[in-house]
Copies of this chain bind each other. A is one copy, B any other.
Amino acid sequence: MKNRNSNKYFRIINAATKVFARKGFFHAKVSDIAKEAHVADGTIYLYFQNKDAILISLFEEQMKAVLQNMERQISEEKDVTKKIEKFALTHLKLIELNKNMAEIIQVELRQSSKFMKEYRNEKFLEYLNLIGKIIEEGQNQGIFRKEIIPGIAKRAFFGALDEMSRFWVLSSRKKYDIETAARQISGYFLYGLLRNSLERGPVAGVKNPQE
């Protein structure tokens, strides 16, 4: 495998992003990717072990960038409440920005035991943990309720955003704008659906509620 600094490496990654998004991983032919990258079929195998590896690399490269970006965005906010809101907004903007990539993550990456089962998706876990850490931070600061289980909350929050993305990716037109969706979703998690605090009931997942 040749060094990934070669511009061909990224040309192939980008071509694959397009082709996978258009046809789906299984229906995408390696020769399609080669054509899109203006490269010979065989050349692909100088940079990637096989077709699966393209998808994995594609994902890793992309997540690297996404992760860096998200870390920077979050660190700009001091308030954990703002951090949560910023996370939601940044995540949804990302989807908007890179529809093809979003589509692959949403649809293709979930498809094969190769990726969601055997492949330990470290980068994705790191991404999830960004949320987890915000929540823990909020709990340590006494701002978030201490009964919240960060391991569950981080998945719930990510899942909420993710499902919203899927909706956008799969439907042609966007019904709600990004800012609205981001504010709504972070709003649900921060303040709940209930109208006033009097109704605040037994604390989630804990026998003896809040203190």
Contact B144 A164 (CB under 8 A): no
- The answer to whether A205 has its CB under 8 Å from any CB of chain B is yes
Main secondary structure of the interface of A (DSSP, over half): helix
Residues of B within 8 A of A156 (CB): 160-161, 163-164, 184-185, 188
With beta carbons under 8 angstroms apart, the residue of B144, B149, B163 that contacts A180 is: B149
Query: A89 to nearest B CB, angstroms?
Result: 12
With beta carbons under 8 angstroms apart, the residue of B112, B183, B190 that contacts A193 is: B190
Residues of B within 8 A of A84 (CB): 193
Contact B152 A176 (CB under 8 A): yes
In the complex the two chains form, what is the Cα distance from A192 to B191 in whole Å? Answer: 4
Contact B110 A112 (CB under 8 A): no
Residues of B within 8 A of A197 (CB): 196-197, 200
Query: A137 to nearest B CB, angstroms?
Result: 12
In the complex the two chains form, what is the Cα distance from A155 to B181 in whole Å? Answer: 11
Contact A193 B110 (CB under 8 A): no
Contact B200 A24 (CB under 8 A): no
Interface residues of A in 152-211 (CB under 8 A from B): 152-153, 155-164, 166-167, 170, 175-176, 180-181, 183-197, 199-201, 203-206, 210
Listed A/B pairs (17) with beta-carbon separation below 8 Å: A26-B26, A84-B193, A107-B117, A116-B166, A116-B170, A138-B193, A144-B195, A147-B187, A152-B180, A155-B163, A156-B164, A159-B166, A180-B205, A189-B189, A191-B200, A192-B192, A195-B210
